[in-house]
Amino acid sequence: MRTELAVAALGIMALVASAQLVAQIVPTGPQNRAANQPQAVAYLFPEQVTVAAGKPSPVALHFRVTAGLHINSHTPSGNSLIATTFSIPAGSGVRLDAASYPPGAAIALPLDPKTKLSVYTGDFVVQARIVTAPGNHLVQGTLRYQACDNRECMPPRTITVPIDVIGR
């Protein structure tokens, strides 16, 4: 009986030690190098919306680009540039029926005045149309973007757009 108790105690210690170590593991590596940087875009509001369940409903999503930076619009000026795109993951109880994006402002970098870029700066609004199942849904939407200033660019990033959607 004493042996069993000692074995059990050792087992618990081993599990506690492993749990502590696993808790310290933070994802790193090439795929996550952008995670070290401050966000170039912030989601402003709404935090909560109430819509008619089962019917396409408009929701205006407000974002802000950090001063001094720009991000590509939804229709960037080149194929290789990364478009700003809002999406909602499947299985959240809310479906993104459509999204309408504002037109980008045309800018040119000082060292290449001939090439126009289509970008968002400051505040911008994505007009989403969602279809919601009845009930409360904490939706973790995402906005993918890629930010630059006049001299350099940061890797593409995806931020979470949390919205509490109530379908009635």
Partner 1 sequence: MRRRNIIVLFTALFILAGLGWAGWANWEYRQQAAARLLATSARGELVPDPAGGAAIFISPLKGKLAPAFSLIDVDGKKISLAKYRGKAVLINFWATWCAPCKIETPWLVELRNKYASQGFEVLGVDTEGDDLKPGDSAGLAKEKAAVAQFVQQMKVPYPMLMNGDSISMPYGGLDELPTSFFVDRKGTVVAAQLGLTSENDIEGNIKKALTE
Binding of residue 82 to partner 1 (CB under 8 A): yes
Q: Could you tell me the smallest distance in angstroms from the CB atom of residue 120 to partner 1?
A: 15
Closest CB to partner 1 among residues 108, 133: 108
Q: How far is the CB of 72 from partner 1 (least distance, A)?
A: 8
Residues in the chain: 168
- Give the nearest distance from C-beta 95 to partner 1 in angstroms: 23
114 binds partner 1 (CB under 8 A): no
- Segment 22-41, which members bind partner 1 (CB under 8 A)? 22, 24-31, 33-34, 36-37
Q: Which stretch binds partner 1 (CB under 8 A): 18-26, 57-65, 84-92, 124-132?
A: 18-26
What's CA 122's distance to the chain center, in Å?
17
Cβ partners under 8 Å of residue 167, min gap 6: 51, 52, 53, 54, 93, 94, 132, 133, 134, 135, 136, 137
Distance CA 137, CA 59 (A): 15
Nearer of residues 161 and 165 to partner 1, judged by Cβ: 161
Residue 158 sits at φ, ψ, to 5 deg, of -130, 125
Tokens of 147: 């930010």
Q: Is 37 or 48 the residue whose CB approaches partner 1 more closely?
A: 37
